[in-house]
A and B are shown apart, each in its own frame.
Chain A
Amino acid sequence: MLEQWVPFAAVTFIVLLSFITNVAFGSKVADWTNSAPVEINTPWKRPRLLAGKSLVVLWFVTAFLYIATLPGAMVVDGVVLQISSLPALLVLAVLTVAVITYKRSLAHQPNGALDERERGVRDTLYLTSYRIVGSILAGIFLAGFMAKFIAELEVNLDQIPTDTALGIVVTAAMFLWVLPSLVHAWTDPIPDEVSDEVRDGWKTAKREIKREIAKIRKDLPKSEKAALAELRKADRKLGRTRTKKKTGKRS
């Protein structure tokens, strides 16, 4: 039983870790690693976008696993998998929170907390979500209609066990709640704004370092001259003491 969950848990851990480091901490990670963000606009170098897409994929995989492991939905050697659905539900709940909090929970913010562009983005997310839900419902009705009247199959929803039906309803409710955030996480093409700022910071820092180096180079001959003068002085002093010593010996 546990062995089945090991690869899934490993993938979950890696993706969540990636999400936390790249999204939740953002610029702080860049500061810790002290690395200059190079070519941030290259699509494959956008960890935030990848983290968003990974989150969406993981959410759907978890939801599928949860439904698949619901009691009555899957039976292994005559044993109904009642306990196995619980970790999937917990992971699904964690992922739901992670997806919703992605990009400052933009999809679930009131008007007052957003500026005009963000309000536009949020409204578009809901419009896309309604379209997706509409398409899914239309697909389900079409499939049911075809099964009933074209393939003449017996469609009886009473055959689904109560626990399974409840699990499906819970997943569907979570899906409807999280859908705008899922759309946001999947489609968000925003280049890393913080990295832009950091990059600007690096440019100014580089300029300042160059200026400092130039200044040091300018000052270097002077210090060399000063050092030579000091040497000469010391040499002269040394010469005087030698002559003094010599005269002293003679006298």
Chain B
Amino acid sequence: MTGRKSSEDAPILNRIAELREKAKLSRVELAERVGVNSQTIGYLERGEYNPSLALAFRFSELFGLPVEKIFVRKEKRRGGSAIKR
């Protein structure tokens, strides 16, 4: 029970900011491409909002990466990739 609760509470981390910078996109441009408000991109990058599955897949399609490469449950730092909460 406790273990399940702790896994539910674990934050979902993402690499949106890093991937956006790599793709040389501004927040507004990225927001337009995935169909959200630019403020929502800010929330996602700061880890203050977790996207729906549909939005997660839109990011996946845009960046050409599987969803699990963009959104993770545990922080991993391989090759200096910055995963933001």
Shortest beta-carbon distance from A46 to chain B in Å: 14
| Contact present for B42 and A116 (CB under 8 Å) | no
A196 vs B28: C-alpha distance in the bound complex, in angstroms?
Answer: 12
B54 to chain A, nearest CB (A): 8
DSSP class of B's interface residues: helix, strand, loop or mixed?
A: helix
Chain B's closest residue to A116 (CB) is: B52
* 30 contacting pairs across A/B (C-beta < 8 A): A114-B37, A115-B35, A115-B36, A115-B37, A115-B40, A116-B36, A116-B40, A116-B51, A116-B52, A116-B54, A116-B55, A117-B36, A117-B37, A117-B40, A117-B43, A117-B49, A117-B51, A118-B37, A118-B40, A190-B39, A191-B42, A193-B27, A193-B38, A193-B39, A193-B42, A196-B27, A196-B42, A197-B26, A197-B27, A197-B28
User: Which of A114, A115, A118: most chain B CB closer than 10 A?
Assistant: A115
Chain B positions within 8 Å of A197 at CB level: 26-28
Per the CB 8 Å criterion, the residue count for chain B at the interface is: 16
The interface of chain B, by Cβ under 8 A from chain A, is 26-28, 35-40, 42-43, 49, 51-52, 54-55
A residues contacting B by CB (< 8 A) are 114-118, 190-191, 193, 196-197
> Given the complex of chains A and B, what is the CA–CA distance between A190 and B38 in angstroms?
13
In the bound complex, how far is the Cα of B31 from the Cα of A196, in angstroms? 15
User: Cα distance A209–B64 when bound, in Å?
Assistant: 34
Q: Which residue of A lies closest to B52 (CB)?
A: A116
- CB closest chain-B residue, reference A190: B39
**Residues of chain B lying within 8 A (CB to CB) of residue A191:** 42
Question: Please, which residue of chain A has its CB at the minimum distance from the CB of B44?
Answer: A117
